[in-house]
Amino acid sequence: MLRHVTALGGVALDGLRGVGEVAILFFQCLAWLARGLPYKREVVEQFYFIGVQSLPVILTTGAFTGAVLAYTSYNQFVALGVESWTGAIVAKAQVWQLGPVLVGLMLAGRVGCSITAEIGTMNVTEQIDALSTMGTDPVRYLVLPRVIASFFMTPVLTIFAMMIGIIAGLGMTVFVLGAEWHFQWVEISEWMVSYDYVQGLSKSLVFGVTISLICCRNGLKTTGGAEGVGKATTTANVASCIAILILNLVMSIFLFYAQPLWDRVADIIAYAVSEAMSVLIGWWNLAA
Amino acid sequence: MAEGLSDPARAGGTFPGGEAEVISLKNVHKSFGSGDRRISPLAGVSLAVARGGKLVIIGPSGTGKSVMLRLILGLLEPDGGEILVFGRRLSSLDGYELQEIRKRMAMLFQGGALFDSMTVGENVAFPMRAMGERDEERIRVVVSERLRQVGLPDTGDKMPSELSGGMRKRAALARSLACRPEIILYDEPTTGLDPITSDAIADLINDTHASLADIRVTSIAVTHDMRVASKVADRVLMLYGGRIVGDGPPEMFRRLGEGAPAPGASEEDRMIRQFVRGEAEGPIRTVA
C-alpha cells in the first residue's frame, strides 16, 4: 500500500516539476523575445510545418466531425420538431469546443510528437550541446520559433476547422438529410454571437502555446538514446492531450463567467468605433 | 608521485615564463546521481592551462574527462570549486555573457554532432551566421576553405548521413574552425575510428593547431588512445578516481610505461604504467 502511495506521490511530483519547467521555458521565451526577434528562417520553416502542412489533417477532422454531429443531432431534433436548430448546434459546438479541442489534439499528435522527437534526437546526439558551444541558445533557436508559430497558426487552423465543420454540417443537413437551407441559416445567424468566436480562438491560442512548450521541454529533457526519444515523445503527446483537456475545462468555466465583461468591452469598442466613424464622416463632409 | 603533478598553486595566475593561462580549475567537484548510485567523476581537481598549449587528458572510461570539457564550456555546473575561462569566473556569468565566452571556443564532439537537418556546408557556415556574419559570399569562401583544410573539399552539398565516421569528424572539425576559436576542445576525437584514420585525425589536430598559431590557439583533447596522446600533446594529464594522478610531458608517460616497474614506485606511477601499457592487472580497477 505504502509503495503505491509513494509511487503516486512520485508521479504527482513529476507532474508538478513538469508544469514548473514548462512555465520557466515560457518565461525564457518571453525574455528572448524582449531581446529581439528570433531567427527568421526558423520561424518561417515552423509556420510552414505547423500551419500549412497541418491543414489537410485539420480540414479532414473538422469536416467529418461537423458532418457526424449534424447527422446525429438532426435525427434527435426531428423527433422534437426542432430540426432547424441542427446547423446552429453544430456551429456552436464547432466554435466553442470541437474546433479548438480537436485542432489541439490533432496538433499534439502531428506537430507535438515531431517537435519532441526532433529536439530529443538532437539532444541525445549532442547537437543541442553543439548549438550552445557555438554561442546559440537552444531556447532562442529551437523553442521560440516553434512557440511563435504555434501561437499564430493554431488559431488560424482552428478557424479553418470551425468553417469546414459548419459547412460540412450544413451540407449533411441540407443535401443529405433534406432540411430547409433557409431555416438552418436563420438559426445559425440568431444563435451565434461574437463572444462564441472569442471563446474558441482564445482557447486555441492557449492550446497552441501549451503544446509547443510541453513538447519542446520534453525534447530538451530527453536522455538515453533511441529508447529515450521514444519515451519522451509518448510522454509529450500524453501530457499535451491531458493539458488540453484540463485547460479546456478551466477556460470554459472562466470564459462563461467572463462573458458580461466581454459584453461590456464589446459595447465600449462598438461605441468607440461608431464615435470615430461619426467624427470621420463629419470631417469628410467638412473637407468636401 | 608522478613528476609535474598538478600543483594547486599553479591553478590561477601565470605559468613560469609569464605564459598567461586561459583556463583554470580550482578545487572542482562534480557528482552525478544520489544515494548508492552517486558517482563523483571529479573530486577536487585543480588545473591551469596555458595559452597556446596542447593538453591531452587521458584516463579510463568514466573518470570525468568529458565532464571536465563540459564544465569548461559551461554546459555543466560544478558542485564545488570554481572555473575561470579567459579570466572570467563562469559561475558569475549570465546566459548572454556565457554565450559570448563560448563564441571564442569550439568543441569537437565524440560523434561530430553535425546538425543532421543541414548540409555539411550549412553546418560549417552555422557558427559564422550565429556570430552575425551576413556576407554570404564571405561565408561561402570560408566554408570552402575550411572543408579543404580538413580534406573534404567536395562535400559541402552532402548531408551528414552520407559521410563516414571519420569524414563526419573532419566535417565537425571544419565547423569548429569556422570562426577561428581561441580554445578548441576535442572529445574523444578518434573513438570508433580505425588506426589509420585515427592517425590522420591526430595529424589534423596538429595541423589545425599550427594553422591557428597566429592567435595562439589552445587545444585540449580527451582520449583513451595513447598513440594519439603521444602524437598530439605537449602536456598530458591523467585522471582517475576523481583526481589528477599524472601531469607532465608525453615523454614522462612513455618512460613510466616502458620496462620493468621501478622499485618503490608510487601508486600514481603504477596507475600511469598500467594505463599506458593497457594492462588489466594493477591499481586501476576496471569493470569487465
Per cent of chain B over pLDDT 70 is 92
Q: Which of A27, A133, A143 to mutate to test the interface with B (most CBs of B within 10 A)?
A: A133
Site of grid cell 595529424: B203
Q: Within 10 A of B60 (CB to CB), how many other CB atoms are there?
A: 18
Find the domain containing A51 and state its range: 28-257
pLDDT of residue B61: 85
Site of grid cell 570525468: B64
pLDDT at B277 over 60: yes
Partners of residue A134 in chain B, C-beta under 8 Å: 102-103, 106, 126-127, 130
The CATH number given to B8-104+181-277 is 3.40.50.300
pLDDT of residue B15: 56
pLDDT at B39 over 90: no
pLDDT at B3 over 50: no
Q: pLDDT by residue (tens digit) across B241-259?
A: 889 999 999 999 888 888 7
Average pLDDT, rounded, for chain B:
87
Asked whether residue A284 is domain-assigned, the answer is no
pLDDT of residue B14: 56
pLDDT of residue B6: 46
Q: Say how far apart CA B90 and CA B74 lie, in whole Å.
A: 7
- Is A135 in contact with B107 (Cβ distance < 8 A)? no
pLDDT at B115 over 90: yes
Surface-to-core class of residue B143, CB atoms within 10 Å of its CB (0-12 exposed, 13-18 middle, 19+ buried): buried
- Is B102 in contact with A133 (Cβ distance < 8 A)? yes
pLDDT at B12 over 80: no
pTM of the model: 0.84
Q: Which of A109-113, A119-123, B23-27, B60-64 has the lowest mean pLDDT?
A: B60-64
Q: Give the confidence band of B239 by pLDDT, cuts at 50, 70, 90.
A: very high
pLDDT of residue B97: 87
Where do you find CATH 3.40.50.300 in chain B? 8-104+181-277
pLDDT of residue B33: 85
- Is B106 in contact with A125 (Cβ distance < 8 A)? no
Kindly state the helix (H) or strand (E) to which residue B231 belongs, with its residue range: helix B226-232
Q: pLDDT by residue (tens digit) across A157-195?
A: 999 999 999 999 999 999 999 998 999 999 999 999 989
DSSP reduced 3-state for A42: helix
pLDDT of residue B16: 52
Partners of residue B73 in chain A, C-beta under 8 Å: 129, 132-133
- Is A133 in contact with B75 (Cβ distance < 8 A)? yes
3-class SS string, B76-90: CCCCEEEEEECCEEH
Asked whether residue A273 is domain-assigned, the answer is no
pLDDT of residue B4: 43
Q: Within 10 A of A255 (CB to CB), how many other CB atoms are there?
A: 18
pLDDT of residue B5: 42
- Is A132 in contact with B102 (Cβ distance < 8 A)? yes
Tell me, yes or no, if B108 comes closer than 8 A to chain A by beta carbon. no
Residues 6+ apart with CB under 8 A from B119: B156, B157, B158, B159
Tell me, yes or no, if B32 comes closer than 8 A to chain A by beta carbon. no
Tell me, yes or no, if A164 comes closer than 8 A to chain B by beta carbon. no
Domain count for chain A:
1
Q: pLDDT by residue (tens digit) across B68-91?
A: 999 999 999 999 999 999 999 999
Q: What is the largest CA-CA distance in chain A?
A: 86
pLDDT at B8 over 80: no
Q: Which of B115, B118, B161 to mutate to test the interface with A (most CBs of A within 10 A)?
A: B115
Partners of residue B126 in chain A, C-beta under 8 Å: 134, 136
- Rama region for B80: left / alpha / beta (φ>0; ψ in -120 to 50; rest): beta
Contact A169, A67 (CB under 8 A): yes
Report the b/e string of B247-280 with b at 16+ CB within 10 A: bbebebbebbbeeeeeeeeeebbbbbbbbbeeee
Residues 109-128 of A with CB under 8 A from B: 118, 121-122, 125-127
Higher pLDDT pick, B42 / B192: B42
pLDDT at B287 over 80: no
DSSP A47: I
Per-residue confidence of chain A (288 residues) as pLDDT tens digits? 888 898 889 888 988 999 999 999 999 999 999 987 778 889 999 999 999 999 999 999 999 999 999 999 999 999 999 999 999 999 999 999 999 999 999 999 999 999 999 999 999 999 999 998 888 889 999 999 999 999 999 999 999 999 999 999 999 999 999 998 999 999 999 999 989 999 999 999 999 999 999 999 999 999 988 999 999 999 999 999 999 999 999 999 999 999 899 888 888 998 999 999 999 999 998 887
Q: Say how far apart CA B139 and CA B126 lie, in whole Å.
A: 9
Asked whether residue A6 is domain-assigned, the answer is no
Higher pLDDT pick, B11 / B200: B200
Partners of residue B115 in chain A, C-beta under 8 Å: 122, 127, 130
Mean pLDDT, residues B117-122: 94
- Is A129 in contact with B99 (Cβ distance < 8 A)? no
Q: Give the confidence band of B96 by pLDDT, cuts at 50, 70, 90.
A: confident
Tell me, yes or no, if B83 comes closer than 8 A to chain A by beta carbon. no
Asked whether residue A217 is domain-assigned, the answer is yes
Contact A114, A237 (CB under 8 A): no
- Is B130 in contact with A136 (Cβ distance < 8 A)? yes
Tell me, yes or no, if B126 comes closer than 8 A to chain A by beta carbon. yes
pLDDT at B9 over 70: no
Q: Which residues pair with B26 in a beta bridge?
A: B82
- Is B70 in contact with A137 (Cβ distance < 8 A)? no
Partners of residue B109 in chain A, C-beta under 8 Å: 126, 129-130
- Is A129 in contact with B75 (Cβ distance < 8 A)? yes
Site of grid cell 589536430: B205
pLDDT of residue B13: 55
Phi, psi of B38 (to 5 degrees): -75, 130
pLDDT of residue B19: 56
